[in-house]
Structure 1
C-alpha cells in the first residue's frame, strides 16, 4: 500500500514566524511544505511571492510544493524556480497554453503539476498527463483556507486515480481543501496519496503538529 504523505499548507501557519513554523513541521514528520501563492486576481486573496519562498528555503530540506494560483502564470515560473520551489503546480485556466507551461517547468528542472478546481472537468488532464509528476484535485474553491470539503469531488479523485494507473507513470495524486480527520478516509479511499492540510495540521500549536500529521495518515 502506498504511504500517505502530508504536505502542510503554510497558509494556516503563523506568518509572523514562518521560518520557525517550517522547522517545526520538518521535525514533526511532514513530507512536503505546501506553499499557496495567490495574486488577488486569479483568486480573491493575496499571499506571498518569490522573495518569501527564497527566505524560507534555508529553514528545511523538505521539498517545496508550490501551488501557483496566479494569472498569467508563465511570467513567474522562473522566479519561483530560482527561489527554491521543487515542484510547481499550475491551473490550466491560468495561461493560454498549459502544455507549454508544463514543458517550461520541466525545463527549469522542477516537477510539473496540474491542478483542477471543483468546476474544472477531469478530462483537462488527459492531453498533458505525460508531462506531469503531480495531479492536484481541489476539494474547495481556491483562495482561502478553512473551507468545507466539497464531497462531489471524490468522484474526480477516483477518475484521476484511474487515469494515473493507466498511464503507467509514477504521478502523485494530491488533494487540497477541507482535508481533516472527518474527510481523510474518503480522500485516501478515492485514491489520493499526497494530502494538503492547513487547519488540521496547525491546530493546537507546534507541540501538536506531529500528532496531527500522524492522525491524517490514518
Structure 2
C-alpha cells in the first residue's frame, strides 16, 4: 500500500542498533538517512560513516536524503556502500542536473527533492532521470516539525503532473508525518512515507503498527 521509510534522525543514538533492529522487525520497509552539511541547511547531521553503520545494522534499503550544497562529493562513498536511493534538492547551487546523472550512472535510484516553496512544475525537466519525487512537507533541516498546511494539495498536483507526463516516479513525503496526517498524504498520491518521531519516539513496534493499521483503516473508510 505504501512504503514506510523510518527516519533515523529521530532515533535514540545511544541505542541506535536496538532501535533500528526493532523498527526493522516491526515492518519498516526502508531507512531514511538525512545528511546535512551545515551550509545548505543550518544543521549538521550525519555523514558517510553513519551510512556505513546503517549498512551493517539492516539489510533493508537505505534511502539517503542529501541536504548539502555539493552532493557530488558524497556519491562515490554512497555507491560503494550499496545505497539504494539518493535524493538531491532542486534548490542546490547550480541545480541538480549533474548530481542526478551521477546518481544514475553509479547504479543508484535518483530522487529529486522540492522544498515547500518550490512549485511541483520545477521537477518537469528531470522526470526522465528520477524514480522518486520527494516533497518536503516541513522546512528542511530539523525533525519534529508540524505538517505544513497545503501539503496534501501540493502532493495531489504533483500526482496529476506525473500522470500527465506518464512518469513512473514515486511521490515521497517527508516531514510532520503521523497517523493523522499520513492518510491525507496517501490519498493525495504519496506512496513512500518518511516518518521519524512517529516511529522512534515511544514504543517503536506499537508506533509502526499504528501508522500501518490506523492509516489503513482511515484510507479504507
Q: TM-score, normalised by structure 2?
A: 0.92
* CA positional deviation for 1:84: 3.3
Paired residues, number: 216
Residues 14-48 of structure 1, C-alpha deviation per residue, up to 9 Å, x if partnerless?
11222222221110111111111111111121111
Contact residue 91 and residue 114 of structure 2 kept, 8 A: no
Alignment of 1:83-98 (within 5 A): 83-98=81-96
Q: Choose from 110, 113, 117 the match for 1:112.
A: 110
> Aligned with 1:55: secondary structure?
helix
Alignment of 1:10 onto 2:18? no
Q: 1:54 — aligned with what?
A: 52
Moved more, 159-168 or 188-197: 159-168
* CA positional deviation for 1:166: 2.4
Q: Choose from 188, 191, 195 the match for 1:193.
A: 191
Unmatched tracts of structure 1, length 5 or more: none
Residues 1:206 and 1:181: Cα distance change in structure 2 (over 3 Å): closer
Q: 1:171 — aligned with what?
A: 169
CA distance in 2, matches of 1:22, 1:158: 32
Contact residue 73 and residue 95 of structure 1 kept, 8 A: no
Alignment of 1:3-152 (within 5 A): 3-152=1-150
* CA positional deviation for 1:118: 0.6
* CA positional deviation for 1:56: 1.7
* CA positional deviation for 1:216: 6.1
Give the alignment's Cα RMSD to 1 decimal: 1.5
Unmatched tracts of structure 2, length 5 or more: 217-221
Residues 56-114 of structure 1, C-alpha deviation per residue, up to 9 Å, x if partnerless?
20221111010000112222221222233210000012241422211110000000000
Q: TM-score, normalised by structure 1?
A: 0.93
* CA positional deviation for 1:213: 3.9
